[in-house]
Amino acid sequence: MTELKAQKRDIFGKKLHKQREAGLLPIVVYGAGEKATSLFVDAKEFIKVWKHAGESSIVSLQTPEGKKDVLIQEVSLHVVTDKPLHADFYLVKADQLIKVSIPVKFEGVAPAVKTFAGVLVKVMHEIEVEALPGNLPHEFVVDVSKIVNLEDQITIKDLKVGAGVTIMADADDVIALVSVAKDEVEEVVPIDLSKIEVEKKGKEPKEGEEGEAPATAAKAAPKK
């Protein structure tokens, strides 16, 4: 289990600027019916732990009040530097079931991609499970090399799940598949020759033109 040391914090809000510059990261620990606690951890150590444990593995947090088993719940990042500014830790108890979203790691190459000029579609990137903290998997590894034909799919029931872990999804839910784009065929509308108007040869004179009497002759005005 990954460990991280924490120290007491009694500084909040805008006053945290100096502590952040000194390499400290403000955190809050809550959950399991206990009162929320504000603490500091070393920012560099936190990043190492976060990369290793993610948000689905238990972290042993060493606090002034003793050791606490926690999950990294939420991390606020700087909009420019992308460095952590604050983190929430969720307190768990060894004998209490919790629901956690476990990340999916894809491995291998799907033969159907090359054979059928298809595209690998990763439908799920994380899967929610329910388990005791000690039984939580770190990740689900999915081998896409099993997708040989277009009808092949990897579903929830194909996962290897440890004892005491319940997946909160249907067994037939798809995790990955290979899709092929279908060419759009332009619909050809049959031509009805009977409705085609054939232009007559020669110019058809218009009403009132020279050489033709007008449809309605106007009366000549009487001479004065």
- Tens digit of each residue's pLDDT, the chain (224 residues): 789 999 999 988 888 999 999 999 999 999 988 899 999 999 999 999 999 999 999 999 999 999 999 999 999 999 999 999 999 999 999 999 999 999 999 999 999 999 999 999 999 999 999 999 999 999 999 999 999 999 999 999 999 999 999 999 999 999 999 999 765 445 555 665 565 555 554 555 554 444 444 444 444 444 44
Q: List beta partners, residue 126.
A: 103
- Whether domain 99-179 has CATH 2.170.120.20: the reply is yes
CATH number assigned to the domain with residue range 2-93, chosen from the 4 options 3.20.20.10, 2.40.240.10, 3.30.465.10, 3.40.50.1820: 2.40.240.10
**Domains of the chain, residue spans:** 2-93, 99-179
pLDDT per residue as tens digits for the range 62-87: 999 999 999 999 999 999 999 999 99
For residue 137, the number of C-alpha atoms closer than 13 Å in the C-beta half-sphere is 22
The rounded distance, in Å, linking the Cα atoms of 107 and 105 is 7
Enter the tokens of residue 146: 């099993």
- Report the side by side order of strands in the sheet with 174-179: 119-122, 174-179, 153-155
CA dihedral sign, ordered 18, 24, 25, 31: negative
pTM (2 d.p.): 0.72
Q: List beta partners, residue 75.
A: 87
